[in-house]
Amino acid sequence: MDSPHARAVFDEWLALKVNREDGEIPPVDGQSLTIADVIAVSCHRTQARLSDEPSVQQQVQDSVDFLQKKLADGTVIYGVTTGFGGSADTRTRDYERLQSAAIQHLNVGVLLEVDKGQTPLDNELLRSHALPPPIVRAAMLIRCNSLMRGHSGVRVDVIQAIMRLLSRDMIPVVPLRGSISASGDLSTLSYIAGTLEGNPDIFVKVGASNKIIPADQALPLAGLSPVRLQAKEGLGITNGTAPSCAAAAIVMHQANQLALLTQLLTAVGTEALYGTVRNYHPFISAVRPHDGQAEAAANIVNFLTESYMLVLGRDANYEGLAQDRYALRTAPQWIGPQLEDLLLATRQVTTELNSTTDNPLIDAVNGHIHHGGNFQAMAITSAMEKTMLALQNLGRLLFAQSSELINNTTNNGLPPNLCADEPSTSFTFKGFDVNMAAYMAELAYLARPISSHVQVAEMTNQSVNSMALVAARYALEAVEVLSLMAATYILALCQALDLRYQQRRFASSMKCELSQYGNRLSPHPNSEVEAVFSKAARSASLRWDELSHMDTPDRSAAVAKHFIGEIVDDMARICPQLTASDLATSAKEICDTLVEKFETERRVTGTDGCYGFLSLGSRLVYEFVRVELAIPLNRGVVDHPPLMRHAARGQEGVFRNSAANADSDPNDGPESWRHGKILGTMAGKIYEAIRDGRLNDRIMKLSMDQDLWTDAN
């Protein structure tokens, strides 16, 4: 089965890995920039340099030369001999002063003094008003790539100056707001141009030290002198979509990973909820041949390979729901369209990376200057709005699955709130259930389109404008919220896998014990006795699951009573010597046995590992959380940090794994988590692993090991 979305995620991960290992991205030539290149430079500070190919350099110089020729001929050129926007009815031949005027009227964004490194922030309600440095790095790279296409008339030396700042991680402090992404992100990019000018009131963040200095002091540190922008260079630097495209590239990188993670978590959820793999049978997608649906189903099935905890099918004697609920059963149909939208959005952003987004455009080859609207960033807005809606839909699916998992009336026999102790005094995941609702509401709010809120701007000249940078900023927030949901769900899934493993082992032990109970009650055991008690044992097992909301003693007593009730009608025939007193005694014995066996299972839950029973996908997630992140099963209210500290004072050393590690770091390992970490901290650790790519690394390595989306497949 072809998996174009998953394959694209894998290819991007591999390209990013190569970039980081090489320490630089391929030369910037205006033609071949990728999202992986942008992420390497913006998020990992990988080096970038301009292409030194003579043909690439020459096309840039040709545009400069052609522009000068047209100026010498007296040609009227927008933004070079005219004013800007609705003021383009003015004329001038003072080309350099005009470019300074362009930058001056665009340096209008609001930054806090603390953003500029001037004074400490006194008002704690104020958040930073600066665009995050990774977005600015990406914007510098993308704008240089566009300028190297040779359609803007900006000198190679000027482009190289931006790249020099980027290579030294000297990043202009750029306002967060103020762009309508119509004539490009004018104001946003003007701070990069202002840095080149050496403007003492434009500020630059220098390297990992986060030292912030004025641009006139930063330039000498980079070996640069202030640039006097020549004809069209101010406009050429600012009149483009690079900031919007930069934020969008970062969004797509993370959103595509979250889409793949959603498919993985759906597979894990299928195991945790004791669902069936037949939800994802290829026939279902073959008769409704949407590419995304077929891919999602195939990916989920691949993740479920090697599972011993799945329901392979439900026969006519199965009691309970005949099929899984929608959150599992229709997951391919729900996820599939999101994959298709994300693929289109990725193509739109990738195309924008290697586009000339300027006006006017210089065609030096054919000898023309074109006045058009390539600065209008609606392609990015379109990509971001599709992506935000896709993220919302993926979040809705995870929310539905999580709600089903935490609710004991829908989770097929797991305890309420996934508590590992007695449910009357433990509510482990109830708070997370509320959190998920809060996240979901916020995510749904963020998914609204920005394009429907466009305002007429700039003397009605910019009567339609894309708002692409705003759309990308909100898409980044959607990525953040969906990542929180995924982290919370992962923690719940690992808890559920441990409890499901406990449930299945106990069910097997209980059915075996009760099935053989007839041998003790009947003086002449035979096949009829065995059949009666086996049927009653199966019924008792189902009853046990139904009563998961009860504490163990009460639950055991109720199930024992149920078991006796199931066999009592047959007792007069197969065990006529039994009295009512005998049955009452048997019920007490069964109750005591169930309590003992369940408490034994409970004590070892989460310590003996369920790895061997899990699918490839569940094993990956479970091991990542339990081993790499060292987050253990939550044993219930006993793991509340104040109670742990109280218990520790009375029994020194009780929480150490063994005498061998008694002198090890007390803040290291699973036991320290039980000692002093709240549930939110555990979810937070998973969240960080999602955002920094560690979990995605494990998924990609699994795909390599299994040849899921590689060339070999």
Paired residues of 171 in beta bridges = 205
pLDDT tens for 606-638 read 877 788 899 999 999 999 999 999 999 999 998
- Expressed in angstroms, the distance from the first to the final Cα of the chain is 9
Given a cut of 70, is residue 653 above it in pLDDT?
no
Residue ending a domain, choose from 218, 240, 262 = 240
Instruction: Indicate whether 712 belongs to any domain.
Output: no
Among 88-92, 395-399, 570-574, 698-702, which stretch is predicted with the lowest mean pLDDT? Answer: 570-574
Q: Are residues 465 and 608 in the same domain?
A: yes
Per-residue pLDDT band for 709 (boundaries 50, 70, 90) equals: confident
78 is catalytic: yes
The predicted structure's pLDDT at residue 517: 80
Among 73-82, 113-122, 244-253, 663-672, which stretch is predicted with the lowest mean pLDDT? Answer: 663-672
What range defines the domain where residue 314 resides?
253-613
Residue ending a domain, choose from 240, 269, 300 = 240
Among 250-264, 566-580, 698-712, which stretch is predicted with the lowest mean pLDDT? Answer: 566-580
List CB contacts of 399: < 8 A, sequence separation 6 or more: 436, 437, 439, 440, 485
Average pLDDT over the chain reads 92
Burial 669-701 (b: 16+ CB within 10 A, else e): bbbbbbbebebeebbbbbbebbbebebbebbbe
The predicted structure's pLDDT at residue 668: 46
pLDDT tens for 524-550 read 677 888 888 889 999 999 999 999 999
Given a cut of 90, is residue 518 above it in pLDDT?
no
Q: Are residues 268 and 375 in the same domain?
A: yes
Per-residue pLDDT band for 519 (boundaries 50, 70, 90) equals: confident
Q: Are residues 137 and 267 in the same domain?
A: no
pLDDT tens for 260-305 read 999 999 999 999 999 999 999 999 999 999 999 999 999 999 999 9
Mean per-residue pLDDT, 390-415: 97
Given a cut of 60, is residue 672 above it in pLDDT?
no
The predicted structure's pLDDT at residue 529: 80
Q: Are residues 607 and 625 in the same domain?
A: no
Q: Are residues 206 and 274 in the same domain?
A: no
Run of H or E residues at 212: strand 211-214
Instruction: Indicate whether 117 belongs to any domain.
Output: yes
The predicted structure's pLDDT at residue 580: 80
Q: Are strands 361-363 and 211-214 parallel, antiparallel or unpaired?
A: unpaired
Given a cut of 50, is residue 661 above it in pLDDT?
no
The predicted structure's pLDDT at residue 658: 37
Given a cut of 60, is residue 115 above it in pLDDT?
yes
> How crowded is residue 373: how many other Cβ atoms within 10 Å of its Cβ?
11
Residue ending a domain, choose from 613, 647, 666 = 613
Q: Are residues 549 and 628 in the same domain?
A: no
Instruction: Indicate whether 103 belongs to any domain.
Output: yes
The predicted structure's pLDDT at residue 667: 46
pLDDT tens for 439-467 read 999 999 999 999 998 899 988 888 999 99
We report the CATH number of the domain holding residue 228 as 1.10.275.10
Per-residue pLDDT band for 312 (boundaries 50, 70, 90) equals: low
List CB contacts of 360: < 8 A, sequence separation 6 or more: 77, 78, 79, 80, 369, 370, 371, 372
pLDDT tens for 144-178 read 999 999 999 999 999 999 999 999 999 999 999 99
Q: Are residues 619 and 534 in the same domain?
A: no
We report the CATH number of the domain holding residue 563 as 1.20.200.10
Instruction: Indicate whether 247 belongs to any domain.
Output: no
Mean per-residue pLDDT, 41-60: 98
Q: What are phi and psi of 666, to 5 degrees?
A: -70, -10
Q: Could you write out the DSSP letters of every residue in 331-396?
A: HHHHHHHHHHHHHHHHHHHHHHHTS---SSEEETTTTEEE---TT-THHHHHHHHHHHHHHHHHHH
Mean per-residue pLDDT, 668-696: 84
Mean per-residue pLDDT, 238-258: 98
Alpha carbon 235 to its chain's center? 37
- Rounded Cα distance between 85 and 461, Å, is 6
- Rounded Cα distance between 18 and 136, Å, is 23
Share of the chain above pLDDT 90, in %: 79
The predicted structure's pLDDT at residue 531: 87
Instruction: Indicate whether 246 belongs to any domain.
Output: no
Mean per-residue pLDDT, 662-686: 68
Q: Of 78, 274, 280, 326, which is the active-site residue?
A: 78
The predicted structure's pLDDT at residue 314: 62
Mean per-residue pLDDT, 184-213: 95
Q: Are residues 163 and 307 in the same domain?
A: no
- Rounded Cα distance between 277 and 280, Å, is 6
Burial 227-252 (b: 16+ CB within 10 A, else e): bebbbbbbbbbbbbbbbbbbbbbbbb
Mean per-residue pLDDT, 203-213: 92
Q: Are residues 356 and 477 in the same domain?
A: yes
Q: What are phi and psi of 527, to 5 degrees?
A: -65, -35
Q: Are residues 608 and 625 in the same domain?
A: no
- Domains of the chain: total: 3
Residue 223 DSSP SS3: coil
Per-residue pLDDT band for 555 (boundaries 50, 70, 90) equals: very high
Given a cut of 70, is residue 651 above it in pLDDT?
no
Mean per-residue pLDDT, 671-698: 88
The more confident residue out of 169 and 575 is 169
Please give the model's pTM, rounded to 2 decimal places.
0.94
- Rounded Cα distance between 699 and 264, Å, is 9
Given a cut of 80, is residue 659 above it in pLDDT?
no
Mean per-residue pLDDT, 216-240: 97
Among 311-320, 370-379, 548-557, which stretch is predicted with the lowest mean pLDDT? Answer: 311-320
Given a cut of 80, is residue 323 above it in pLDDT?
yes
Nearest Cα neighbor of 567 from 536, 598, 595 is 536
Run of H or E residues at 486: helix 468-515
Residue with tokens 């007296």: 74
Q: Are residues 29 and 157 in the same domain?
A: yes
Q: Are residues 455 and 569 in the same domain?
A: yes
Mean per-residue pLDDT, 343-351: 98
The predicted structure's pLDDT at residue 670: 54
The predicted structure's pLDDT at residue 523: 66
Mean per-residue pLDDT, 392-405: 98
Mean per-residue pLDDT, 240-245: 98
The predicted structure's pLDDT at residue 573: 75
Per-residue pLDDT band for 210 (boundaries 50, 70, 90) equals: confident
The more confident residue out of 584 and 193 is 193
Instruction: Indicate whether 248 belongs to any domain.
Output: no
Instruction: Indicate whether 182 belongs to any domain.
Output: yes
Instruction: Indicate whether 161 belongs to any domain.
Output: yes
Residue with tokens 């009860």: 550
